[in-house]
Structure 1
Amino acid sequence: MARETGRTVRDLRRDNRTAVLQRLYFDGPMSRLALGSAAGMSSGSVSNVVAELLAEGLVEEAGSLGADGGRPRTLVRVVADRGRLIGVDVGETRVRVELFDLSMSELARAERLLPGHGRRSYDVGVVAGHILDGVVEVLGAAGAGGGELLGVGIGVPGIVEQTSDGPLVHGQTVGWDAVPLERLLRAPGRLPSGLPVFIDNGARTLGQAEMWFGGGRGARDAVVVLFGSGVGACVVADELAGGRAVEWGHLTVRVRGRRCRCGARGCLEAYAGAEALVARWREAGGRPPDGVDEEGALTALLAEGAAGDGVAVGVLEETAEYLGAGLADLINLFQPERILVGGWAGLQLGARFLESVRRHALAYALRRPAARVDIVLGRLGPDAVTVGAAILPLADFFARGGRRAPMPPAPAPAWRAALGERLASPAVVSGGGAVE
């Protein structure tokens, strides 16, 4: 029966299951008593939910906790091998696919390089093929384990528009214009039938991972920066559940400046993205090794800088200032308590230049918000985007109270559609006369 709020008993049961699963996932093992306090539920409600989850194999008993002068309390936890998740990172140089269990322990991985030297090819057919090949490979890997496959999450470059016909990817810097990626992935019939697919911006999946498992834990307001070939960010605040991707790399930092991959001039990405950074080093007289990709070229640039090469040092110091100025914009706009720097290039540069970037950021930012922000490196390493992508189906699983996603309806056979059209017509001709 619906309540005045429009919520039903079924909604309440689902929300209770969600609350218990989330608390056990992040803070377990826990006793039923501790669960009730953490989830804000009565002891009876907690006992009922835990009994359901135990019967379904979603949680299990995990020993007991002694109580002073009383009976020991049984602990329960989420069963890690009860489900599996796939995370996909459509990156700048490769497509990475990883299979995880519910504890986010890696079970298998596959990588496919994107073709081309220097400027990579982002042909959507090639990318979709790499994703499908990777999914098939990790699912067939020896030792991949059992458990229900809960879904595939994919982090992509660009803006993801959710429409009634499925997500569309607008990746201007990689030449994608309203690409129906999910539809392209399902068309060949290689994905398991009914498997949920979630697609989101790569910076947002990185932010999701750092907030759930990395350097963002405990922060209420944070910005997670992805620094790779390009530059992106995810803003997380109380009013932005799950975070919001922002095209930080395309803020203008220099009027009539360098041409960016997006086609505009003076974007932050045109100065601080790894692709532009290597190009600026070459233009200044640097000599990147022949036959290496951006990651190899950036490694060489850092080595030259560490050896005291004047050209390399100058380019790196200028880049640190551009990054600092860009972070100052984020500080002034969103006033976060924490900024996390991630992405493969961010992690390479951060270990050596983070202090310089921090100094420039605080110099360019307003004093009040600058005084409360902490700028640190992300903790999850180069796999953070895949971890965050796998969180997409995991978060959906929790939101449904640990129940399987409903199967999409099977398409009606052609004869049924034809019959429906015939019956819907205002008149059916029979025996030379119209029958109303």
Structure 2
Amino acid sequence: MSVEAGGGRPVLTLPEVSTVTTLRQRNRALVLKHVILAGETTRGAIAKESGLSTASAANLVTDLINVGLVEERGSVSSHGGRPITLIGPRAESAITIGADIGERGVAVEMFDLAMNRIDREDRGGDEAEDPGRIGADIHEALVALRDRNTERWPTLLGVGLGLPGVVETDVEGRQILYAQSNGWPPVPVSDLCDVGGIPVFAENGAKMQTRAELWFGNARGANHAVVALLSRGVGLGIVSGGQLAHGSHSSAGEWGHTVIERGGRPCRCGNRGCVEAYIGSDAILETWKQAGGVFEGSGLPAVRKLIADAHAGDQVAAATLDDVVDCLGAALGGLVNLTGPERIIIGGWVGLPLMESLSDRITAAIKRHSLSRPAGQFTLHVAKFGGAAVATGSALLPLEALIAADLMSERSPG
């Protein structure tokens, strides 16, 4: 089992089983992940889910209790037998941080070991910023979180960053962000975030939304799914065989820059006819404006106004929205034919309001643009985590590192 950071590079790997000690470490990692995913479970359920013997599961739970990562939480009735003890993550034993990084600011969130959100800090605004300013935003947000949580800060596992572009790992092991659509030069992740020796993990933001949905959301349990993030930019996470796909250099999922119309509308990446040039927020609102739509701003309020005006009978807004739904259906329909998903999940601050009232129309549009057989084999869902998905998924990166690396042996109880 391994955990992958930006660039798809396994950064912390639990080696293949070759000794009894290694087997025990791997099984302990699996048990810890099961407990965190379940939130609350029992030793018997752990044994059943993991394929371990009841005795082995009980011994591994004891190990995790002794190092302070798992706790007993009372008991439930066993239908006439002895009460069954409940097991859960010891939430206060560690914290992890996830950040949603955009070109216009950052949202940095702090979670405990049970993935309860315990604090948040935002920086930036409506104007586009350069990488230097974004790096300063991240630093300021982390300082603010540290100052408000001084007692818990020493338990910080690491910081995860969900970034707007492709994140690769170079030959020297450095993570590099390639944010072509933002017009940024290649940026070392260490230039954006340096936390004084604390591990920093980075990956594309759409993949981080997918990670959150895989762990706790509407992709959980799916073997094959696509998770679309619609905002100013457009991204995708691909789930294949129950795992998040990265590709050879972590660019898998750059769906927003696949071409759906040769020589079509100009895209921020420099190409023409990309998916993002039709269903990214700026593209949607520019199309509405050129058709005669009247609105203020460029963000979520303007997108909501478009939807509301269309539902109220405004013909210009309705025609614009029809075009958005059809373009989205065409883009996702191609993915249905290409990947054969059992679930399609749509999130992002543009995708969420579209799904609120248009999910049936979006489903019909996807089916209209895909082959009939795979078109009947998927279900459409809204992202469970809403606007917090990218930060939540990013916070899982340090947590996965803890699970995969068997860092439990280095921790002292308490």
TM-score, structure 1 as length reference: 0.84
Report the Cα offset of residue 221 of structure 1. Answer: 1.0
Equivalents in 1 of 2:221, 2:189: separation in Å? Answer: 34
Aligned letter for 1:47?
A: A
Residue identity opposite 1:96 in structure 2: A
CA contact (8 A) 2:266 2:277 kept: yes
Amino acid at match of 1:345: V
What is the percent sequence identity of the aligned residues?
Answer: 38
Q: How does 1:312-391 map to 2 (within 5 A)?
A: 312-391=317-396
What secondary structure sits across from 1:391 in the alignment?
helix
Further displaced range: 49-58 or 333-342 = 49-58
Structure-2 residue corresponding to 1:158:
165
Q: Which moved more, 1:30-39 or 1:371-380?
A: 30-39
Does structure 1 residue 94 correspond to structure 2 residue 99? no
- Aligned-pair distance for 1:146? 6.4
The question of whether the paired residues in 2 share the 8 Å contact of 1:208 and 1:243 is answered with: no
Query: Measured at CA, do residues 369 and 70 of structure 1 come closer, stay the same or move farther in structure 2, by a change above 3 Å?
Result: same
How far does the alpha carbon of each residue in 1:246-279 deviate from its partner, in whole angstroms, 9 at most, with x for none? 1111111111111000010111111111111111
What is the alpha-carbon distance in structure 1 between the residues aligned to residue 270 and residue 190 of structure 2?
27
- Which position in structure 2 is the counterpart of 1:413? none
Once the two structures are superposed, the pairs formed by residues 163-202 of structure 1 within 5 Å of their partners are: 163=170, 164-186=172-194, 191=195, 193-202=196-205
Q: Which moved more, 1:26-35 or 1:105-114?
A: 26-35
Distance 1:139 1:243, change over 3 A: farther
The letter for the 2-side match of 1:253 is: I
2-side partners of 1:44 and 1:218: how far apart?
A: 27
Q: Distance in 2 between matches of 1:67 and 1:301?
A: 54
For 1:268-287, list aligned pairs within 5 A: 268-287=275-294
Q: 211, 223, 226: which is aligned to 1:208? A: 211
CA shift in 2, pair 1:54/1:142, >3 Å: closer
1:416 corresponds to = none
1:246 aligned to 2:248? no
Distance 1:182 1:114, change over 3 A: farther
Q: Is the 8 A contact 1:223 1:233 kept in 2?
A: yes
| Contact residue 271 and residue 322 of structure 1 kept, 8 A | yes
Query: For each residue in 1:11-38, what CA deviation from the matched residue of structure 2 results, as whole angstroms up to 9, or x when unmatched?
Result: 2122011111112122253333332222
User: Compared with structure 1, are the counterparts of its residues 39 and 6 closer, same or farther at alpha carbon in structure 2 (3 Å cutoff)?
Assistant: closer
Amino acid at match of 2:360: E
SS at match of 2:186: strand
1:348 & 1:374 partners in 2: Cα distance?
18
Match of 1:53 among 57, 61, 64: 64
CA distance in 1, matches of 2:334, 2:326: 13
Decide which moves more: 325-334 or 393-402: 393-402
Larger radius of gyration: 1
Say which structure, 1 or 2, has more relative contact order (CA 8 Å, 6+ apart). Answer: 2
Equivalent of residue 298 in structure 1, options 303, 317, 320: 303
- Displacement of 1:92 after TM fit? 4.9
The answer (yes or no) to whether the contact 2:95–2:111 under 8 Å persists in 1 is yes
- What amino acid is aligned across from residue 241 of structure 1 in structure 2? Q
CA distance in 2, matches of 1:312, 1:67: 58
Letter in 1 for 2:201: F
Structure 1 distance, partners of 2:39, 2:229, is: 30
- C-alpha RMSD over aligned residues: 2.3
Q: Give the match's secondary structure for 2:263.
A: coil
Query: Deviation at 1:124?
Result: 0.5
Q: Measure how far apart 1:68 and its partner are.
A: 5.0
Q: Which amino acid aligns with 1:237?
A: S
1:179 Cα deviation from its structure 2 partner: 1.1
Query: How far is the alpha carbon of 1:296 from its aligned partner?
Result: 2.9
CA distance in structure 2 between the partners assigned to 1:316 and 1:354 by the alignment: 13
SS in 2 for 1:74: strand
What runs of 5+ residues in structure 1 fail to find an aligned partner? 407-436
Query: Structure 1 residues 139-148 or 166-175, which shifts more?
Result: 139-148
Deviation above 4 Å: which 4+ runs of structure 1? Answer: 142-147
Identify which range, 195-204 or 129-138, moves more after superposition. 129-138
Shift of 1:99: 0.6
Indicate the larger mover: 19-28 or 337-346: 19-28
**Consecutive unaligned residues in structure 2, runs of 5 or more:** 1-15, 247-251
Q: Which amino acid aligns with 2:362?
A: V
Mapped contact 1:82–1:147 kept (Cα < 8 A)? no
Deviations for 1:178-236, whole angstroms, at most 9, x for unmatched residues? Answer: 210224422xxxx2x32111100000000011111111122221110000011111000
Contact 2:285 2:302 (C-alpha < 8 Å) held by counterparts: yes
- In structure 2, which of residues 215, 221, 239 is the aligned counterpart of residue 218 of structure 1? 221
Aligned mates of 1:234, 1:146 — CA distance in 2? 31
Task: Tell me, in whole angstroms, the C-alpha distance in 2 between the residues paired with 1:395 and 1:53.
Answer: 16
**CA distance 1:106–1:133, shift in 2 (3 Å):** same
